[in-house]
């Protein structure tokens, strides 16, 4: 599987280089860690799938959240499938008013930070959405001392263990 991923990354880089796509010059393979390393600061002009990968890696580390949990939330909320999910759509809005890649409501985001959050800002700014969402997950874990309760609360607003919480807790990225 590792060789297949590395081969896919190399092929992608080769194709993008052939078409003069400068956006991905910063992707490097980290064979020792078996993954992808992004060596530059992301901008809102970079592909959403790469922004998600970069910011989940960054903020999962910052808030001391196991990455498989952060990726599990991203998958469950907007079906994010990794750094090469080129058709990824991060601009989703739920029937309940949750927005963006990690599906957080502006009213909930305001409880995490004093910043002024708008639907547009949370929907379009991947970094802000991921950072705010993972900060909330960390606060919920600190409050309840249990990942499943934190995920259930993230999903419903109540500290419960539901199917969502179990899915996120057991999530294993297969990309």
Overall domain count for the chain? 1
**Quick one: what percent of the chain has pLDDT higher than 70?**
77
Extract the tokens encoding 124.
Answer: 């379009």
Q: What is the mean predicted confidence (pLDDT) over 49-58? A: 96
Q: In terms of residue numbers, what domain contains 147?
A: 41-170
Go through the chain and tell me how many residues it has: 175
Backbone dihedral angles phi then psi of residue 75, each to the nearest 5 degrees: -70, -45
Strand partners, 99: 93, 104
The overall average pLDDT reported for the chain is 86
**28 against 100, higher pLDDT:** 100
Contacts of 19 (CB under 8 A, 6+ apart): none
Residue 11 lies in a domain: no
pLDDT of res. 20 = 45
Please tell me the distance from the alpha carbon of residue 56 to that of residue 124, in angstroms, as a whole number: 16
Is residue 47 within 8 A of residue 23, CB to CB? The reply is yes
**34 against 144, higher pLDDT:** 144
Q: State the CATH number of the domain containing residue 48.
A: 1.10.530.10
Whether residue 21 has pLDDT greater than 50: no
Residue 4 lies in a domain: no
Is residue 91 within 8 A of residue 121, CB to CB? The reply is no
Q: What is the mean predicted confidence (pLDDT) over 125-144? A: 98
**Cα 25 off chain centre by:** 21
Residue 66 lies in a domain: yes
Q: Tens digit of pLDDT for each residue in 84-129?
A: 999 999 999 999 999 999 999 999 999 998 888 999 999 999 999 9
Backbone dihedral angles phi then psi of residue 127, each to the nearest 5 degrees: -60, -50
Closest by Cα among 144, 60, 63, 130 to 101: 130
Residue 13 lies in a domain: no
Least confident of 41-45, 98-102, 131-135, 151-155: 41-45
**148 against 30, higher pLDDT:** 148
Whether residue 52 has pLDDT greater than 90: yes
Contacts of 112 (CB under 8 A, 6+ apart): 132, 135, 136, 139
Contacts of 147 (CB under 8 A, 6+ apart): 69, 141, 165, 169
Residue 36 lies in a domain: no
Please tell me the distance from the alpha carbon of residue 166 to that of residue 155, in angstroms, as a whole number: 11
pLDDT of res. 25 = 46
């Amino acid at each position: 599987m590792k060789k297949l991923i590395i081969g896919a990354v190399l092929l992608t880089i080769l194709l993008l280089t052939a078409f003069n796509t400068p956006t991905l010059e910063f992707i490097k393979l980290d064979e020792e860690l078996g993954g992808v390393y992004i060596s530059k600061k992301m901008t809102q002009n970079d592909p959403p799938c790469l922004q998600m990968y970069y910011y989940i890696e960054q903020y999962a580390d910052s808030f001391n959240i196991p990455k498989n949990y952060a990726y599990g939330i991203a998958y469950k909320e907007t079906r994010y499938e990794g750094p090469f999910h080129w058709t990824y759509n991060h601009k989703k809005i739920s029937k309940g008013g949750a927005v963006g890649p990690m599906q957080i409501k502006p009213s909930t985001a305001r409880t995490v930070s004093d910043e002024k959050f708008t639907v547009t800002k949370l929907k379009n700014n991947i970094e802000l959405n991921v950072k705010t969402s993972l900060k909330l997950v960390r606060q919920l874990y600190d409050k309840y001392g249990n990942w499943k309760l934190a995920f259930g609360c993230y999903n419903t607003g109540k500290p419960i263990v539901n199917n969502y919480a179990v899915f996120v807790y057991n999530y294993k990225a297969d990309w």
